[in-house]
Amino acid sequence: MCDLLENVPIHWGPRFDCGSAAATFTRVDPSTIEFEAPAHMALVMFTPQPGRIAALNSDRRTNFMAPVGCLEIVPATADFYASWSTPKENILVALRPRRLTALAQAEFGRAECELQPPRSGFIDRKALLIAEMIRDELMSSETVSPIYLDSLLTVFSVHLLRHYSSVAGQPAPPRRGGLSARSWRDVSDFIDANLMSDLRIETLAKIAELSPSHFLRAFRQTVGQPPHRYILELRTKKAEQLILSTDHSLVEIATACGFSSHSHLSSTMKRLRHTSPNELRRDPEKQ
């Protein structure tokens, strides 16, 4: 299976890849790039690009102004060329075709869909807002949250489907209410049993028998917070219990609770509990 961001140099910026989707925040000096897209790709600009030159499946290169919030879409297998003469910052999202197809089926009941790129220089403010949240998480001083980034990529993908694909304009099924009692029980039981695993929105949505975007809305309505925050709170509580009731090392506890490292556990407890694992073990009254 190919790397979704294989055509983007690693030194251009931090990246996240969950297998079916990926994102990178790039900051790069004037340069040129040319490739055949290994997946569906979408770029959202954070800095203006006067005199940007691009070509999509054509030898004809267009010179245009790419403002902040400019959205470019490159469908999978398309030939793409771009060059820019001023420093550039942007979010680049890559989606495997099967992920977008699965979303189209879940959201719109359409088994097939094609992306339809907007005109050169087109501004999409909602895409910019989602891209800014992706950037902020990728640039976090703490370890990034995979399930949070997975949530943002799901929202971004559904936005592309609704506005830049062959299913655009198709009515989605009405979405009302939170999770049913059965769905909430099944989802919460699965989360409890898999806290140490790398949980994904697509997996939880399937358990609830909902589309990913409907699941995100229904989960928040039922629980009062998004999945990634709920899961982080559960992991922190479990870590506290193990710190107080066992003599396991903090590294072992971090792994058992789904944290990527001891430092990730420590930074999370500092932020949520205003204490550290070591301090809690020395002084249980800090709980």
Query: pLDDT-derived band of residue 7, with 50, 70 and 90 as boundaries?
Result: confident
Which has more pLDDT, 170 or 145? 145
Question: What proportion of the chain, given as a percentage, has pLDDT over 70?
Answer: 95
The model's pLDDT over 173-223, given as tens digits with 9 standing for 90+, comes to 666 678 999 999 999 999 999 999 889 999 999 999 998 989 999 999 999
d(CA 173, CA 167): 13
Phi, psi (degrees; rounded to nearest 5) at 155: -60, -45
Average pLDDT, stretch 127-156? 91
> What's the whole-number average pLDDT of the chain?
91
Task: Identify the three-state secondary structure at position 19.
Answer: coil
Q: What is the pLDDT of residue 282?
A: 83
Phi, psi (degrees; rounded to nearest 5) at 64: -150, 170
- Residue type for position 113: C
How would you class 287 by CB atoms within 10 Å of its CB: exposed for 0-12, middle for 13-18, buried for 19 or more? Answer: exposed
Whether residue 72 is predicted with pLDDT greater than 60 in this model: the reply is yes
Please tell me the least confidently modeled range out of 38-42, 172-176, 257-261, 280-284: 172-176
Whether residue 1 is predicted with pLDDT greater than 60 in this model: the reply is no
Q: What is the pLDDT of residue 76?
A: 95
Q: What is the pLDDT of residue 287?
A: 58
Average pLDDT, stretch 130-142? 90
Which run of H or of E encompasses 56? strand 49-56
Average pLDDT, stretch 68-75? 97
Q: What is the pLDDT of residue 112?
A: 82
CB atoms under 10 Å from CB of 79, counted, come to 14
Residue given tokens 């999978």 in the structure block: 76
Phi-psi region of 251 (alpha: psi -120 to 50; beta: other; left: phi over 0): alpha
Decide: pTM greater than 0.85.
yes
Average pLDDT, stretch 75-93? 96
Residue given tokens 């072992």 in the structure block: 252
Please tell me the least confidently modeled range out of 3-7, 57-61, 126-130: 3-7
Which has more pLDDT, 198 or 155? 155
d(CA 63, CA 26): 21
The model's pLDDT over 232-279, given as tens digits with 9 standing for 90+, comes to 999 999 999 999 999 999 999 999 999 888 888 898 899 888 888 888
Q: What is the pLDDT of residue 141?
A: 67
218 CB-side CA count, 13 A = 22
Q: Name the percent of the chain in helix, strand, coil, to the closest 5.
A: 45, 20, 35
Average pLDDT, stretch 122-126? 97
**Residues in contact with 83: Cβ distance below 8 Å, sequence separation at least 6, in sequence order:** 30, 31, 32, 33, 52, 53, 54
* Strands ordered across the beta sheet of 21-28: 15-17, 21-28, 88-95, 40-45, 71-74
